[in-house]
C-alpha cells in the first residue's frame, strides 16, 4: 500500500513537472516571439515612414529644380527665339521659329505639370483643401469628366502632417478611376464622424473591390495607397453602392 502511494506520487509529480516544463517552454516561446514580432513590425513601420519622408523630400527637391532651373532656362530660350524671329530676314525663318516657339511652349507646360504633380505648390502654401480643389479643377478641364467637391472643405481642416500622404492617395485613386474605371463623375466629401475625420470619394465607374485586389497583390499602386494610409494611421473602407465605388478614408489621428 505504501509503495503504491509512493508510485502514485512519483508518477503524478513527475508527469506534472514534465508537463509544466513543456507548457512553460511553449508559453515562453509564444510570449517572446510575439514580443519580437512587435519589435520587427515597429521597425518596418519606421522604415516605411522614413522611406516616405525621404521620397517626399526628394520630390520637393526635383519639383523645385524643375521649376527654378529648367523652366526659367526654357523661358529665357523662348524670349531669345521671339527676339530672333523679329530680326531675321530669311523667308523660311518665321515658320521655323514659330515651330520652335510652339514646341518650347509645350515643353514649358509639361515641365510645369510635372513639377505640379511632384509637389503641388498649393499643398504647402494653402493646405489640403485648396490643393484638392485646384487638382479637381485641373482634372475636370484636362479629362472632360466631372470632378467635384460636395461640401465646403474649409470647414474641416486636414493637418499639414498628413495632407501630403492623403493627397497622394487621392491622386492614386483618381488616376485609377480615369485609367480603368470609365467614370463620368467623381465626388469628394470631407466630414467629421464618430470614427474620426472621414474623407469620401464616390465615382460612377466600373466597380472595383479594393481589398480583394490588394490581397491578390495586384498593382503597386494599391500597395502604395495602403502603405501611405498606414503611415498616417488611416484606414480605407469601401461601401457597396448601386453603381460605381464609394471609398471612405478614416483619419484617426484627427479625432
Partner 1 sequence: MFLLYFVVIYGVSPLLYFLIAKRKGVKELKPILPYVALTFIASFYEFFGTLTFKWDCSYWFVIYEILSFLTIFYFFYQVLQKQFAKLFLTFLFGFITLWFFLLWNFNIKDLLIINSYSHTFITVFILFFTIIWFRKLMVDAYIENLLKNSTFYFISGLILYHCGTVFLFLLSNYIYKADSNLLHSYWMINIILNLVLRTLLLIGIWKAKTN
Q: What is the 3-state secondary structure (H, E, C) of 93-109?
A: HHHHHHHHHHHHHHHHH
Told to check if 216 binds partner 1 by CB under 8 A, we report no
Told to check if 46 binds partner 1 by CB under 8 A, we report no
Q: Which is nearer to partner 1, 1 or 242 (CB)?
A: 1
Among 124, 142, 137, 128, which Cα is nearest to 64's?
Answer: 124
Applying CB under 8 A, which part among 16-24, 106-114, 233-241, 242-250 lies near partner 1? 16-24
Applying CB under 8 A, which part among 19-27, 71-79, 150-158, 208-216 lies near partner 1? 19-27
Q: What are phi and psi of 205, to 5 degrees?
A: -90, -155
Q: How far is the CB of 252 from partner 1 (least distance, A)?
A: 23
- Residue 229 C-alpha cell reads as 494610409
Q: How far is the CB of 11 from partner 1 (least distance, A)?
A: 6
Q: Which is nearer to partner 1, 14 or 54 (CB)?
A: 14
Contact residue for partner 1 among 2, 5, 9, 21 (CB under 8 A): 21
Q: Is the dihedral of CA 208, 210, 212, 215 positive or negative?
A: positive
Task: Report the Cα–Cα distance between both ends of the chain, in Å, rounded.
Answer: 72
Told to check if 82 binds partner 1 by CB under 8 A, we report no
Contact residue for partner 1 among 14, 73, 75, 215 (CB under 8 A): 14
Told to check if 26 binds partner 1 by CB under 8 A, we report yes
| Cβ partners under 8 Å of residue 229, min gap 6 | 165, 169, 235, 236, 249
Told to check if 69 binds partner 1 by CB under 8 A, we report no
- Please, what is the Cα angle at 233 between 232 and 235, to 5 degrees? 110
Q: Which is nearer to partner 1, 18 or 241 (CB)?
A: 18
Applying CB under 8 A, which part among 3-11, 46-54, 142-150, 169-177 lies near partner 1? 3-11
CB atoms within 10 A of CB 199: 25
| H-helix or E-strand spanning residue 250 | strand 245-251
| Paired residues of 92 in beta bridges | none
Q: How far is the CB of 48 from partner 1 (least distance, A)?
A: 16
Amino acid at each position: 500500500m505504501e509503495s503504491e502511494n509512493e508510485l502514485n506520487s512519483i508518477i503524478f509529480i513527475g508527469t506534472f513537472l514534465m508537463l509544466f516544463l513543456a507548457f512553460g517552454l511553449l508559453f515562453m516561446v509564444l510570449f517572446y516571439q510575439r514580443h519580437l514580432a512587435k519589435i520587427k513590425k515597429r521597425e518596418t513601420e519606421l522604415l516605411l515612414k522614413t522611406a516616405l519622408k525621404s521620397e517626399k523630400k526628394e520630390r520637393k527637391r526635383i519639383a523645385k529644380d524643375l521649376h527654378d532651373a529648367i523652366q526659367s532656362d526654357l523661358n529665357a530660350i523662348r524670349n531669345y527665339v521671339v527676339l530672333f524671329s523679329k530680326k531675321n530676314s530669311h523667308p523660311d525663318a518665321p515658320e521655323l521659329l514659330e515651330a520652335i516657339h510652339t514646341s518650347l511652349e509645350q515643353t514649358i507646360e509639361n515641365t510645369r505639370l510635372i513639377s505640379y504633380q511632384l509637389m503641388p505648390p498649393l499643398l504647402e502654401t494653402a493646405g489640403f483643401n485648396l490643393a484638392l480643389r485646384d487638382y479637381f479643377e485641373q482634372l475636370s478641364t484636362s479629362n472632360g469628366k466631372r470632378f467635384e467637391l460636395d461640401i465646403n472643405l474649409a470647414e474641416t481642416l486636414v493637418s499639414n502632417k498628413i495632407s501630403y500622404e492623403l493627397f497622394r492617395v487621392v491622386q492614386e485613386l483618381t488616376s485609377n478611376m480615369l485609367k480603368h474605371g470609365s467614370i463620368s463623375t467623381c465626388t469628394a466629401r470631407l466630414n467629421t464622424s464618430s470614427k474620426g475625420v472621414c474623407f469620401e470619394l464616390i465615382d460612377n465607374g466600373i466597380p472595383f473591390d479594393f481589398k480583394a485586389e490588394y490581397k491578390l497583390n495586384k498593382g503597386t499602386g494599391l500597395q502604395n495607397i495602403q502603405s501611405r494610409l498606414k503611415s498616417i494611421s488611416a484606414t480605407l473602407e469601401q461601401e457597396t453602392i448601386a453603381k460605381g465605388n464609394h471609398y471612405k478614408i478614416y483619419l484617426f489621428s484627427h479625432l
